[in-house]
Amino acid sequence: MLPVRPLGPADLSACLDLGADRDWPREHRKWSILLDVGRGFGIDSPDGGLAATSILVETGPVASISMVVVAARHERQGLGGRVTSAAVAAAGDATVFLHASDFGLRLYESLGFVTDGGCEGHVGVLADDGGPAARPINPGDLDQVYALDSAAQGFERRALLDRLLFEAEHVHVTDDGFALGTLLDDVTVIGPVVAPDEEQARALIRGIARAAGGRIRVDVDLAQPGLSAWCRASDLSPIGPAPRLVHGGRPLPGVAGRRFAPYNRALG
């Protein structure tokens, strides 16, 4: 049986090749961030390259699993289950969650994951409705951003947030909310969007969309249908929901009502 081994930043090129084998875009920056902040698990293919991968990112009492990919020539050999199980085992007592495609849903359910919400992507050029926009962050706002993120997540994740802030091209704030805009390929991905209400969530998205120009993407939490409807009315096209599953059906900490969008589907 091919062994599961650790993956790290040195495996970036092989991970990109594996994703391309399944027609994933070559998201160099996304893979690079995740391999740096998380723990990768991989299975080498006997004919070269990687046969399967997963990445675990641990933040306090919560851990996320993402980038579960199996090469087309190695599918239906149980490799996806093995790299996912390795990540779950490495997470220990943490509450483990992931966002799934329709293709992987049955696999994750067989491993003990239970559906608990999810998100839906919206992509395009935001039609400006002239509404109020959040402002760019000032140095004096940083402590408030840490506090708002901790309240929304239910725990402090300052080290991870510092890395995400460093990678972001845009960080905007309102009185009680914040959002990041990170350029991945040719799209500015807006998230996390943390706000007390939909009005401030819209202002955060407007602010970053105006600053970034061009195409944006927002993965709106399924618990926020009003924001999804506004995105669609603002010319952002839905690209399909991704259910969120939690291992063992354990509750996620924090205040779900303040989490309007995750950083991306790989991280909360």
Residue 1 has pLDDT above 90, yes or no: no
**Confidence tier at 104 by pLDDT (50, 70, 90):** confident
> Does residue 214 carry a pLDDT above 90?
yes
Span 153-181, mean pLDDT?
96
Check residue 127 and give its pLDDT. 97
Give the mean pLDDT of 110-127.
96
Give the pLDDT mean for 71-78. Answer: 93
**pLDDT value of residue 258:** 97
pLDDT higher than threshold 80 for residue 268: no
Q: Which domains does the chain have, with CATH numbers?
A: 4-93 (3.40.630.30), 121-242+254-261 (3.40.630.90)
Between CA 98 and CA 116 the distance in angstroms is 10
* Per-residue model confidence (pLDDT) at position 194: 98
Percent of the chain topping pLDDT 90: 92
Q: Is the pLDDT of residue 101 over 80?
A: yes
Label residue 182 by pLDDT band (50, 70, 90). very high
In this prediction, residue 131 carries a pLDDT of 97
